A and B are shown apart, each in its own frame.
Chain A
Amino acid sequence: MTSAFFALFAALTAVAPPGTPDAAALLRDSDRARGGLAEGVSWTLTVESTEEGTSTRRTMDVRARNTDALAETTAPPRKKGEVILFNDRNLWFLKPGLRRPVAISARQRLQGEASNGDAASTNYARDYTGTVVGDEIVDGEPVWKLDLVARSKDVTYDRIRYWISKRRRLGVKAEFLTVGGDLFKTATFEYGNRVRIPGGQEIDFVSKMTIRDAMGAGGTTVLTYESPRAETHAPSVFNVNNVVR
């Protein structure tokens, strides 16, 4: 608690480097490339996790619109039809044979090192208070380093250290911390996809997120984003009662 307080205090009182951009604007821009599009977007997500020599794989069709998302498992066959619905900050899990959805948490593990919240579109601009705390070089690329503190308890992580490319304004690396400030997961991002959004503009879109366990056995989970496309989704798609039916 004390370390978290001091980290927050340090982040808030840090002297920003000259020409520091607005953290909220940086987060908004980087969110777009991770599914946080108001207009709607779809992609196919493959989650492959390796833990203590055991590998598992799951494929999901994800539809996202603003802060809502619907992730439906298509493989393996015995998991087919399982759905995670992100309705604003409410999360529901459904599967064939259940009369009612199960209210779940964004923090619960989806598979391997990936939390449920990792499978959906990213809305760090909404969920976190960001502060630019410095600039560094990551893989030869100049980046802004941000400290993100959760605005509420129902988001996926309490604290994030986030590195955003200065030129591309895309998140390239993240460290996920407990409320006490302990590092427990790291992630790197690649942007090999392009999406044409309404208005004709083409933007970079995430193609790979690699999550590594920083505390335990060193498990790795790779989220691969394929076939991203801008699509219009009606709000009713994300209504839990419609999904149950």
Chain B
Amino acid sequence: MTGAWRLAFRNLRRHRRRNVVTGVAIALGYMGLVVLGGYAGWAERLIRTGSVYMQHRGHLAVYAKGGLKRAEAKPSAYALPPETQEKIVAALRADPRVAHVGRYLIGSGIVGNGCKSFAMRAVGAEPDLERRLASHPEMIAIWGRATGPVSGRAFFDAPGAEAPVVVAPRLARALEKARPSPGGVPATADAPLDCGAPDVRQRLAADPFVQLGARTADGSFGAAEAQVVGLYRPASTEEDKTALVAPIELLQRLYDTDRVTYVAAFLRDHRDRAAVERDLAVRLRDAGVDVSIHRFDDPVANPFYAGTMAFLGALVLFVVLLVANVVAFSVLNAMTLAAIERSREMGTLRSLGFTRTQVRGLFLRESALLTITSVLAGAAFAAAAALVVEAADVRFEPPGSGTPVHLQFMPAPEVFLGTGGLFLVLTLAATFIAVRRKVRTPVAELLVEVAA
């Protein structure tokens, strides 16, 4: 420590009470922002992983031109034919930043139990890929137990089942399939069913099969049978009444098509999405494939993610401005008082040969030391708050999501460093403003000045 820093440290200790009060304001403000940053980071990961993995969007989704809006309604014109799928898959697999590639077929229709039918929105996925995504470390870290089936088994984990599907809980209740048993086929499954019989609910509950109906690619009506092997949590409550996930082959049979709605890419690092999108677009254009690529954060493809993040960003910015103002004014106030109280000291230092810059530097060093100490304390408080929240095991259902999640604060190192840097700049600027005019005062005046 140089002499100037040692002197600054001693000065901090001399004015302990005022500096403690200022330091506490800085520490608490810092802790608040770090906790807020941690919450925002966790919320972003929650929504991102929900969009990418649970809603099967991938980090990038490649559609036929116009397919984002029209592939479900008119797959014959706006879904991807097999040869285009192959080209897209090959282009994605050639990129080392892409971890997984999957084909998805999305469609609507009805699902019936032999007595009643209900509207459904079905997602057809590749079982092997879904198995890998369900155990993805980021999914487990954020969603925990919610990644597994609510009851029964996942559709990719039901050996021996005929055309296994999983359905959302409310749809399952409507179909009388709330307790699926992925075992063998009961003998009564083939027996005629009287929908007016008093025991019809028990009969329906014991029958694991449902019938899917939909308009096929050629415009006629088609149907296929499926076995409900489990219930799963869809990513949003609005899907709870209609969602069904099935092997893609089953849905292709239902819709009588070999096309898919989109090909999704799951990246090793989500921050590469823009670069991967750019390179993929070039590669596909060179291969003569006319498609549109949508990232998970594309406001058109995923307005929920984009809207929520914009709202969260505005909220964080507002709080940061508020806290930054409080901290800056606290420091400005404390340093202004210090400058007034320490006029004689400043005059004495100037008389001893200290330049104005050196006197100002002394105050700035004091401010820097106070800020660094307070920020370290604030970081410790923030870490303690994160531990307390973790220990409290707070679980809640985010609005619009039917899945309970475990509240976590996950401040990234850049949040700690960035907030610390912001506070240092703020306090140094406030100190500079507070002492700037005072150090310009003539030495004789400083020596005779009496603090109020």
Chain A interface (Cβ within 8 Å of chain B)? 49, 51-52, 54, 56, 58, 79, 82, 93, 95, 97-104, 108-112, 116, 241, 244-245
The complex places the Cα of A104 from the Cα of B220 at a distance, in Å, of 13
A100-B112, A102-B117, A104-B110 are contacts. A109–B209 as well, Cβ < 8 Å?
no
A104 to B112, CA, bound (A): 9
> In the bound complex, how far is the Cα of B190 from the Cα of A116, in angstroms?
27
A99 and B223 form a contact (CB under 8 A): no
A102-B211, A102-B212 known, 20 other contacts, Cβ within 8 Å? A49-B219, A51-B219, A54-B76, A54-B219, A79-B220, A82-B221, A93-B221, A95-B223, A98-B224, A99-B225, A100-B193, A100-B211, A101-B112, A104-B213, A104-B221, A108-B221, A109-B215, A110-B220, A116-B221, A245-B192
- Of A93, A99, A108, A241, the contact of B209 (CB 8 Å cutoff): A99
The contact size tier of chain B is: 20 to 34
Q: Say yes or no: B209 contacts A102, CB within 8 Å.
A: no
Q: What are 29 A-B pairs at a CB distance below 8 A? A: A52-B77, A54-B218, A54-B219, A56-B219, A79-B220, A93-B213, A93-B221, A95-B223, A98-B224, A99-B114, A99-B190, A99-B211, A100-B112, A100-B113, A101-B112, A101-B114, A102-B110, A102-B112, A102-B213, A103-B112, A104-B110, A104-B117, A104-B221, A108-B215, A109-B215, A111-B220, A241-B193, A244-B192, A245-B192
Q: How far is the CB of B258 from chain A (nearest CB, A)?
A: 14
Which chain B residue has the least Cβ–Cβ distance from A100?
B114
Query: Which residues of B are found within 8 Å of A98, using beta-carbon distances?
Result: 211, 223-225
- Give chain B interface residues in 307-349, CB to chain A under 8 Å: none
Interface string of B199-238 (1 = CB under 8 A from A): 0000000010101110100111111110000000000000
- Is A93 in contact with B223, judged by CB distance below 8 angstroms? yes
Q: Which residues of A contact B219 (CB under 8 A)?
A: 49, 51, 54, 56, 109, 111-112
From B209, B211, B215, B222, name the one whose CB has the most chain A CB atoms within 10 angstroms: B211
Task: Find the B residue at minimum CB distance from A110.
Answer: B221
B116 sits at the interface (CB 8 A): yes
B115 lies within 8 A of chain A by Cβ:
yes
The closest CB in chain A to the CB of B212 belongs to A102
On chain A, the residues within 8 Å of B138 by CB distance are: none
Asked if B422 is an interface residue, CB under 8 A from chain A, the answer is no
A156 to chain B, nearest CB (A): 14
- Bound Cα distance A244, B219 (Å): 24
Which residues of B approach A to under 8 Å, CB–CB? 76-77, 110, 112-117, 189-190, 192-194, 207, 209, 211-213, 215, 218-225
Main secondary structure of the interface of A (DSSP, over half): mixed
> Within 8 Å CB of A54, what residues of B?
76, 218-219
- On chain B, the residues within 8 Å of A93 by CB distance are 213, 221, 223
CA distance in complex: A180, B295 (Å): 38
A109 touches B192 (CB 8 A): no
CA distance A51 to B218 in the complex (A): 10
Q: In the complex where A101-B114, A102-B213 touch, is A109 in contact with B225 (Cβ < 8 A)?
A: no
Return chain A residues, CB-CB under 8 Å to B114: 99-101
Please judge, given known A-B contacts A95-B223, A100-B209, whether A241 and B117 are in contact too, CB under 8 Å. no
Give CA–CA (A245, B191) in the complex, Å.
Answer: 9
Interfacial chain A residues near B215, Cβ < 8 Å: 108-109
Q: A103 and B189 in contact (CB under 8 A), knowing A49-B219, A98-B211, A110-B220?
A: no
Cα–Cα, bound, A109→B74 (Å): 14
User: Which residue among A101, A110, A244 has the maximum number of chain B CB atoms within 10 Å of its CB?
Assistant: A101
Residue of B nearest to A241 (CB): B192
Question: A100 to chain B: which residues have CB within 8 Å?
Answer: 112-114, 193, 207, 209, 211
A56 touches B220 (CB 8 A): yes
A97–B112 CB distance below 8 A: no
A-chain residues with CB within 8 Å of residue B213 when the two chains form the complex: 93, 102, 104
User: Could you tell me the distance in whole angstroms from the C-beta of A165 to the nearest C-beta in chain B?
Assistant: 32
CA distance A52 to B113 in the complex (A): 35
Q: How far is it, in angstroms, between the C-alpha of A99 and the C-alpha of B189 when the chains are bound?
A: 8
A177 to chain B, nearest CB (A): 22
Q: How far is the CA of A100 from the CA of B110 in the complex (A)?
A: 14
Shortest Cβ distance from B171 into chain A, in angstroms? 15
What is the CA–CA distance of A117 and B113 in the complex, to the nearest angstrom?
A: 22
Chain A residues lying within 8 Å of B192, measured Cβ to Cβ, are 241, 244-245
Residue of B nearest to A84 (CB): B221
Q: Which residues of B contact A56 (CB under 8 A)?
A: 218-220
A97 to B226 Cα, complex, angstroms:
11
Q: Given contacts A56-B219, A111-B219, A245-B192, is CB(A97)–CB(B225) below 8 Å? A: yes
> With a CB–CB cut-off of 8 A, which chain B residues contact A116?
221
Complex contacts, B193 vs chain A, CB 8 Å: 100, 241
Name the distance in Å between B162's Cβ and chain A's nearest Cβ: 10
A217: nearest chain-B partner, CB-CB: B74
Q: How far is the CA of A49 from the CA of B211 in the complex (A)?
A: 26
Interface centre among B110, B219, B222, B224 (most CB of A within 10 A): B219
Q: A54-B76, A241-B192 are in contact. Are A103 and B115 (CB under 8 A)?
A: yes
Residues in B with CB closer than 8 Å to A104 are 110, 117, 213, 221
Closest to B117 in A: A103
Please list the 6 inter-chain residue pairs (A to B) with the smallest Cβ-Cβ separation, ordered nearest first: A100-B114, A103-B117, A102-B213, A241-B192, A102-B112, A102-B211
> In whole angstroms, how far apart are the Cα atoms of A228 and B215 in the complex?
29
* Cα-based distance from A93 to B225 in the complex (angstroms): 12
CB-CB nearest in chain A for B74: A52
